[in-house]
Amino acid sequence: MAEHLFWLGRYLERAEDSARLADVEYYAAIEALPHGAGDAALWEPVLAATGLLDDYRAVASTSSPATFFLLDHANPSSIRSSVGKARELARVCREFLPREAWEELNVLYLWLQPIDALEHVTLSELTGRVRRSAWVLQSLLDHATPHDEGYQWFRAGLFLERADMLTRFVDAKQPALLPHGLGAGGFDPGLQWAAVLRAASAWQAFRRTARAEVSGPAVIAFLLLDRAFPRSLLFALSALGDALQRASATARLSYLASARALLAALQLELESVSAPELMARSLHEYMDELQRRLISLNDALTASAFRALPEPAAP
């Protein structure tokens, strides 16, 4: 059951983040690209940000880029697929969830089913509906369910997914860091970094907290290293560590040791680095490295928490 709740958190966060990314990136591309740019050009940044561009190109003849990202059953990371997987997990875990949470997720799932393409609904309507449902579901789980071990596994999945998606938001914009003038593709760097902030629901928080010009170093410092913003990488990793600690509070000392070690090393590195030091690196390579380490963390959790064999009885 712990694994089901963990992945329920991941899929709900993935659906919400994907909806926000689609909304922000699509309209940013409309503003930046020449009038009359094709649908593929408008959606390519969205697909690239989530690592789906190669997958889409493999099936491009059978699906539009928008449909592939948002609604395609063949794409296991599409919003429809994420919501469907979350619903299936919630069905298995219904005894652990508030009734209202199951109803909200079921209504969202059923609302998505007849939608085959954006011709049937506007992008803003689709992404707005998914985001609002995700917020309602998270709020219900925060305020209407016991904060027991199962809840902590849900939080662990949610914050691990949030950390992973944030690295993808940043990686998608790394060409905008070119030192002078316009970034790659003629995009204005300031507008591109503003889009990263909006994709992470961080625009207002950044303007209030950082009080700095929207630039690569300032945005990176805020999104990766800020300790107080709930969608920063450092905050997500700290919340993940707290959830793991609470989920395993009554378990044996060796439980989750490898996962905790990986997480602690990543937290320590981020806590000791500065934004200028990050900017001196290849941002794309560093985001790739972070994604690989988060995958290793997920694998360690799976092996130690969800696939672990019971300890032999004492002689």
* Domain range for 239: 154-307
Q: Convert the pLDDT of each residue in 240-252 to its tens digit.
A: 999 999 988 866 6
Place of tokens 């998914």: 130
Q: Which of 145, 163, 198 is the last residue of a domain?
A: 145
Q: What angle do CA 150, 153, 157 make, to 5 degrees?
A: 145
- Note whether 137 and 160 are same-domain residues: no
Q: Convert the pLDDT of each residue in 102-114 to its tens digit.
A: 999 999 999 999 9
Task: Judge whether 202 lies within some domain.
Answer: yes
Q: What pLDDT was estimated at residue 120?
A: 75
CA 97 – CA 147 distance, rounded (Å): 11
Residue 117: both structure tokens together = 């393409």
Q: Which of 145, 166, 185 is the last residue of a domain?
A: 145
Residue 99: both structure tokens together = 């009734």
Mean pLDDT taken over the chain: 85
Residue 33: both structure tokens together = 């690209």
CA 263 – CA 10 distance, rounded (Å): 17
- Note whether 280 and 175 are same-domain residues: yes
Task: Judge whether 54 lies within some domain.
Answer: yes
Q: How many domains does the chain have?
A: 2
End-to-end CA separation in angstroms for the chain = 30
- Note whether 119 and 169 are same-domain residues: no
Q: Which of 145, 172, 191 is the last residue of a domain?
A: 145
Task: Judge whether 312 lies within some domain.
Answer: no
Task: Judge whether 314 lies within some domain.
Answer: no
Task: Judge whether 166 lies within some domain.
Answer: yes
Q: What pLDDT was estimated at residue 97?
A: 93
> How distant is the alpha carbon of residue 207 from its chain centre?
22
Residue 312, helix vs strand vs coil: coil
Residue 258: both structure tokens together = 């490898």
- Note whether 248 and 207 are same-domain residues: yes
Contact 66, 39 (CB under 8 A): yes
Closest CA to 253 of 298, 312, 311, 315: 311
- CA within 13 Å, CB half, 161: 21
Closest CA to 101 of 146, 141, 49, 51: 141
- Note whether 166 and 186 are same-domain residues: yes
Task: Judge whether 19 lies within some domain.
Answer: yes
- Note whether 101 and 196 are same-domain residues: no
- Note whether 169 and 131 are same-domain residues: no
Q: Convert the pLDDT of each residue in 159-207 to its tens digit.
A: 999 999 999 888 876 655 444 444 444 456 677 788 888 888 899 999 9
- Note whether 177 and 87 are same-domain residues: no
Q: What pLDDT was estimated at residue 308?
A: 57
Q: What pLDDT was estimated at residue 58?
A: 84
CA 168 – CA 162 distance, rounded (Å): 10
- Note whether 5 and 122 are same-domain residues: yes
Q: What pLDDT was estimated at residue 31?
A: 67
- Note whether 130 and 229 are same-domain residues: no
Task: Judge whether 313 lies within some domain.
Answer: no
Contact 280, 268 (CB under 8 A): no
Task: Judge whether 9 lies within some domain.
Answer: yes
CA 236 – CA 225 distance, rounded (Å): 10
Low-confidence ranges of the chain (pLDDT < 50): 177-186, 309-315
- Note whether 66 and 114 are same-domain residues: yes
- Note whether 140 and 164 are same-domain residues: no
Residue 211: both structure tokens together = 């009080």
